[in-house]
Amino acid sequence: MRRRWLAAVAITLLGVTACGGGGETKAAQSEVTVFSWWTGPGEADGLKAMREIFEKQNPNLKFIDGAVAGGSGDQAKALLQTKLQGGEPPDSFQGHAGAELQGYIKAGQLEDLTSLYDELKLKDAFPAQLVEQISVEGKIYSVPVNIHRSNVLWFNPAVLTEAGVAGPPKTIEEFTAALEKVKATGKIPLSIGSEWTVTHLLENVLLGSLGTDAYNALFKPGADWGGPAVTKALESFATILSYAGDSQDDWQPAAKQVADGQAAFNVMGDWAYGFFRNPAPNGLSKTAKKDFDWAPAPGTDGTYLWLSDSFTLPKGAKNRDGALAWLKVAAGKEGQDAFNPKKGSIPARKDADAALYTDYLGEALKDWSSDKLAGSVQHGVSVSQPWLSAINEQVGLFLGKKDVAALQKGLAEAAAANTQ
């Protein structure tokens, strides 16, 4: 996918060279490069749906897909940073709403979008708590296109029945017992993807073990990452992870192991719903409540561990007007209702067509309005990008050494270094 991004840039540069002078301006005004990490099944379908609306509304603009593969966007963010530092920003790029964007803001790399919010009346369209979360010193730098839930336990009902597990476990202790029962059948108790999915599992175990208030307190100055409650949570994390099967390349093949009956459980965000449900070839064409089912991750019922995909306007964008046209689609009711059912997420807007959100998504809409809120770690709400990098480094070390004390010490040091 890096080649796709570079090819898009190369095509643009060739066009500029051929046209010269005024041709450069014309090319910049006609092409809109949108950078994301939506290349997988479900997410790519949602992006395509929004792109079609954008092209219909803006027939004189050409959409350039700058997507880079890799769940959670780790690879995309690394390439994006290179582009920004090199003075070659895309016209708009995807980022997680919340602390993740603070680095870009502090570096002066994003435009303030408050005037766009006023023009489109987005402060009325979005929930007040979401607007508050994405505001920095009274300014807003991103347009959220959705709300995702991070704390979902996906499971295969038939595998649970075979193992004698009556239903999805509600507590960390029940989860461990269920994993042991599945292990006895020879099936994979817990499927796991690439390294970022392990950090995703960690945030869920921390929330399930500590509870909402104590979890949220971890990301405030002076938090006690070295205390006994965190120790207990990390010991539970180590135990749960010991039941994981072989690591898969990313979250999709790990989720597929559950859908295909090879594994019992997978802890993943609700973008997995679109992957399970969407028709082939981009989805698995599975039937909800039969081939796959869901529940809150153990210990987290009543809490929405949330994140939001959003789009930005980088300073120095070659086609600023085109980028604003894209942001209007991303913010609009039509765009969000086209995107979210395919992506497996709910809309950021309050006025979306509820009839489009059925099955899991209908439950998510209801829970979002009533549950307590906790911010995702891996997906940018609670920690900055440098802090997340430090956490991921410690998770990587843990995967090699399986040393809980070292993991806790490393997480405490990362928190202290990033909450000054």
Please report the DSSP string for 63-113 in residue order.
EEE-----GGGHHHHHHHHHHHHTT---SEEEEESSGGGHHHHHTT-B---
Tens-place pLDDT, residues 242-295: 999 999 999 999 999 999 999 999 999 998 998 898 888 878 999 999 999 999
- Pair 244, 258: CB distance under 8 Å: no
Please identify which residue in the block is written with the tokens 């104590």.
Answer: 214
Residue 218, helix vs strand vs coil: coil
| DSSP string across 383-410 | S-HHHHHHHHHHHHHHHHH--HHHHHHH
pTM of the model: 0.83
Per-residue model confidence as pLDDT tens for the chain (420 residues): 333 443 443 333 333 334 444 444 455 569 999 999 888 777 888 999 999 999 999 999 999 999 888 766 778 888 888 888 889 999 999 998 888 888 899 999 999 999 999 999 999 999 887 888 788 889 999 999 999 999 999 999 999 999 999 999 999 999 999 999 999 999 999 999 999 999 999 999 999 999 999 999 999 999 999 999 999 999 999 999 999 999 999 999 999 999 999 999 999 999 899 889 888 887 899 999 999 999 999 999 999 999 999 999 999 999 999 999 999 999 999 999 999 988 889 999 999 899 999 999 999 999 988 899 899 999 989 999 899 999 999 999 999 999 999 999 999 999 999 986
CATH class of segment(s) 149-305+374-418: alpha beta
The rounded percent of the chain whose pLDDT value lies above 70 is 92
Tokens of 46: 């949602």
As given in the structure block, the two tokens for residue 143 are: 């347009």
Provide CATH 3.40.190.10 ranges for the chain: 2-145+309-368, 149-305+374-418
The residues, any chain, with a CB within 8 Å of residue 252's CB and separated by 6 or more, are: 40, 41, 71, 193, 275
Nearest-10 Cα torsion for 395, 399, 404, 407: -30
Q: Does 3.40.190.10 match the CATH number of domain 2-145+309-368?
A: yes
| Cβ–Cβ under 8 Å, residues 47 and 54 | no
Q: Are 165 and 333 in contact (CB under 8 A)?
A: no
CA 307-221-137 angle, 5° bins:
60
Tell how strand 31-35 and strand 62-65 pair up: parallel
CA distances in angstroms from 186 to 174, 181, 237, listed in the order given: 19, 9, 22
Q: Which two tokens stand for residue 34?
A: 């949108």
